[in-house]
Amino acid sequence: MTLERLELGKKASAMRLASAGVFIGLTGLAAIEIFTIANRLEALAFDPAFCSPSSLHTTVEPPETQLTKDYAAIRILLKDPRDRFEQIRRIYTGEFHASAAARPPSPLLKNNSRAQLFKADYQRNPWAGSLRNEAQRIDRERGMTLTMTIDTGLQAGDRVAVETAFRGVFAVLLDDLLTSIQQRLDQAITVGRTLQHARRYYSESLDAYLSINAAPQATRASFALDAMARAIEDIKAGKPSARDWFARERTNFMRAVHEGMGARLGRQAFRKMGVDHG
């Protein structure tokens, strides 16, 4: 009986150790990710891959491009309780860009001259911009102060201010993109693909935040995105009334986004950011 108890005790200890190991492993993933990005930024002079001069970007973003990769890196660094604001500033200003995941080339595209024929314009012409350039453009066009808010937040180490302003940047980018899609609904096949870019913007910058802080608005926004996709399919099928449907859902989507952001910030503070649709 004593031997049996000893064996059971050993098994229980092993299980506790294994469980603890799994927990530590999971909680350590974010820290490892932050550490990797920060170290690569600090060693950029020796790591040209991270700078990624051939990174992809267009005015109409594909689902995974330099702008969204840069923002994803910034979000990871903002999670670090240590001071990573200098690294964030370097990505934000376009001094360095987050690199794309390495992927083996397709056998069809191994020959460089043939590969160029298959590349889209955005692949042949790398993006030379930055998130700061986008914030400045938005400020000029909409009379906002997003650039100043981000710059001041980075200098002061104010994570909340930086994150809030970046959400404002992406709310406007979404508005711009969806407006552009609405103006080009006669090109239904093209805009159907472009809507996926809007989904990417939303998922990268706003979806999780709204789901936690304004769940009803998050649900409405997701529903409106799905409805816009169905409207585009109806336009492809030759249903003219679907254009009005798309326009309504675009308005519903942006209203849900802005209400959700305003619900957390307070309507007055949100209006001061200049992204309120009333």
Of 2-11, 102-111, 120-129, 152-161, the range with the highest mean pLDDT is 152-161
> Distance between CA 178 and CA 249 in Å, rounded?
10
> Distance between CA 230 and CA 246 in Å, rounded?
9
pTM of model > 0.85: no
CA dist 185 → 224, 233, 243 (Å): 17, 11, 7
Q: Which two tokens stand for residue 200?
A: 């990417």
Residues 6+ apart with CB under 8 A from 66: 52, 55, 56, 57, 97, 98, 126, 127
pLDDT of residue 127: 60
> Distance between CA 258 and CA 112 in Å, rounded?
45
Segment 157-199, tens digit of pLDDT: 999 999 999 999 999 999 999 999 999 998 877 888 889 889 9
Backbone φ/ψ region at 229: left (φ over 0), alpha (ψ -120 to 50), beta: alpha
pLDDT above 70: percentage of residues in the chain: 61
Mean pLDDT of 51-64: 40
Closest to 258 measured CA to CA, from 218, 203, 200 = 218
Higher pLDDT, 66 or 53: 66
Is a pLDDT exceeding 70 seen at residue 11? no
CA torsion angle 5 10 15 16 (round to 10): 100
> Distance between CA 261 and CA 257 in Å, rounded?
6
Taken as a whole, the chain contains a residue count of 278
Banded pLDDT at 268 (limits 50, 70, 90): very low
Segment 217-263, tens digit of pLDDT: 999 999 999 999 999 999 999 998 999 999 999 999 999 999 999 86
